[in-house]
Structure 1
């Protein structure tokens, strides 16, 4: 993707009038380029060999324990960041850019802008979002329009600037943002808690109080230190989609949060707000139970079912950068995070920990070794 082109190269480009492609209107050519740059699954590019979307049960009537195709014979562990839609690597073919200078000039900017970049905080196949996005050159970052961030609530709302710090490299160009707040097979006693009207970690009692205020029709304001204030720092943002996940047994609490989320209005600056205009949707899925569960742990209990609620917010169609106070008067704080330790793949569901493994989701390998020496894990 790091392809540089000189000004002389562009000036020397042939008009290609003899080509049927260049006899088409520019709008039609752009549609062709966008189709050519669509991401496709890589053959044998599964993150875990033999694992595909079909291995994640989504039928409420299906029993995973009795489903042969959901008991995998794999070596090693099943990373807990794998989920439907994220089981294989994706690739974009770029051969079209090498056909001629004119095609490169017209199509190169669409290569990144048509992709939905994936970023993972905590568990995932890549480095942290900020480091991943900083690896793009300036031209590529300016073309990033779509981004999907996979993270956890404990990172997402621990302090207000975190979100805009992580996405700072593409803050000016980002138009469509999807955030998945993941369930990683952790403690069943820890429900999904998310509150835009409170800075720092959300509290259950405070959430209930704000829900009651919403029902009474009281006007609620987003604190400047809340994670919900971050979207004003993305001046081109048009849509925000959030996926909220939680384990079985807490479906009613998660649905209540999702329904409440449709009332949230995120400030964009200039007295403009991003709001939800459609009802939320939900789906249920379940991780496969690898064969090693039985062999090593003698476990017959399948991993918990996960429910995902999806909510979308839209910016007003009249939004402009000039109307955004944050984009004019404030500077997005930068982050100095580094990835000093290698990527760690931990299992999605470990019976040895009683399903509590996500408590240690962000502990370093050295910290885990210390915890093991103390007998904690």
Structure 2
């Protein structure tokens, strides 16, 4: 493809090379995909009020994310089965993230073992789903610790996988050679056993996840590990406060990219209330819908410490493996630096003091 100048260019290129079932698995949401659309609409409504004559030049983008230095206020989101997209899968993404100096989050459903990914030398976080059986959870936590992960990210918005119509229509299942490297139980079935109306991945997830997980489980998890604990999948500010009360080191405001409860609130709409409620007690990250460096600036202005970047990373992986992922990260880097300069910000902290204007009127940025 010609040199991409936006994340949309990577998305279009990925659509041309990926088989439709894989493309739909990546790009699709739950239900009528209302929440997925709402994430973008909410970010589009946010208008940043720039400062002028600040003398900001060559802005600094490095920041601290959950105790780790990041060259950008960004981490790669946890995403399953990346070898569906490219043979190198998570290995390529983790290597690109390490080269860019940003954390990479390895999923419980990674198609490459965590030990191979931490060996690449970057900052690696491990994303944990609450599996049925406490021993299975403990094994994953200890494995992440032994592998040298820098933080544990527990996803709390998936008691079970939502109905995702695109996957159901495609009768989606994993091809031979792609499996969850951290689990003993393979995804059941092959394409010839699953016609339209069933998703082998969805059925497998329902079988192994424990929908009874509650706040007591989160408390036990906090006691189980000394790793920084990131709680992902919160929208209500009351839940953000409760997570902080239980010792969370960071909270990710997320609706799973519009892939869980369809009709759930957009993350950019929920971030300010969580920021106000926490009052600096616990850093917040914004997930779901980030597509550009300008979106990162908006998230910072709304009060986030940083963002998680998801689908665009997979689009880059599909189009060029490690080089494609690095291309996406470099593009977001250039866009963010330009946005910071134009907004009069010398660094990411200054962006958090900007005013934003949106549907609910002006909002003051986070105090210094």
Does the pair score TM above 0.5? Answer: no
TM-score where L is the length of structure 2: 0.30
Relative contact order higher in (CA < 8 Å, ≥ 6 apart): 2
Query: Which structure has the larger Rg over C-alpha atoms?
Result: 1
User: More helix by proportion, 1 or 2?
Assistant: 2
